Chain A
Amino acid sequence: RKEVEQDPGPFNVPEGATVAFNCTYSNSASQSFFWYRQDCRKEPKLLMSVYSSGNEDGRFTAQLNRASQYISLLIRDSKLSDSATYLCVVNGRYTDKLIFGTGTRLQVFP
């Protein structure tokens, strides 16, 4: 089983839609969780950290479910500019090195 797993998509949604991505992780001892965004042929950039109680940043909401070992990202009122690949990041087994999921591709259309 991969340490971090994501549905690769693509998710094709119209502008204004709400879309949610999940990411599962295998290390129950993981403490650090993040969502990164990667645009085509660019480096990944931090979108938001994920806190135990859940957190929101504008149209973006991240949640952590420790019991089921997954994190989620909800995007409300999707914009064309949200089109990108969303990467889930978790610290790995027995170490604090950061492991990336393969990413979920989002395409927002007019």
Chain B
Amino acid sequence: GAGVSQSPSNKVTEKGKDVELRCDPISGHTALYWYRQSLGQGLEFLIYFQGNSAPDKSGLPSDRFSAERTGGSVSTLTIQRTQQEDSAVYLCASSLRQGAGANVLTFGAGSRLTVL
């Protein structure tokens, strides 16, 4: 696609429920990132996928969070047993790893998660 696509754009859920957030990166971009941004705060790194390498999961805040990337393209971020502090905008970004534009991130519009 022309840009990074994220869905859903908004998700309201009850505490304790599981949620899945989807990211469809730009075609050909080998690197994919998930960040989290709480209201009025900066971007918090969550996880980074690069090609076929093992993902860098160092930013995942707890074992309730997991992510996968199928076929080197679409990624899903799953949050189990959601808590109110999980409420935030979840941003996905993709980039080329090499060549012109390497490491330049293009972001999706984000998925706004509200946990009641």
Q: Give A residues with C-beta under 8 Å from B.
A: 32, 34, 36, 42-46, 49, 87, 89, 91-92, 95-103
Q: With A and B bound together, what is the CA distance between A89 and B91 in angstroms?
A: 15
- Residues 20-71 of B at the A interface (beta carbon under 8 Å): 33, 35, 41-43, 45, 48, 50, 56
Contacts of B19 in A (CB 8 A): none
**Closest Cβ of chain B: how far from A51's Cβ, in Å?**
13
Asked if A91 contacts B103 (CB within 8 A), the reply is yes
Interface of chain B, main secondary structure: strand
Q: Give B residues with C-beta under 8 Å from A.
A: 33, 35, 41-43, 45, 48, 50, 56, 91, 102-110
Q: Could you name 11 residue pairs across A and B whose Cβ atoms are closer than 8 Å?
A: A34-B104, A44-B107, A95-B48, A97-B33, A97-B56, A98-B45, A98-B103, A99-B45, A100-B45, A101-B42, A102-B41
Q: With A and B bound together, what is the CA distance between A98 and B107 in angstroms?
A: 13
Among B48, B56, B107, point to the contact of A43 (Cβ < 8 A).
B107
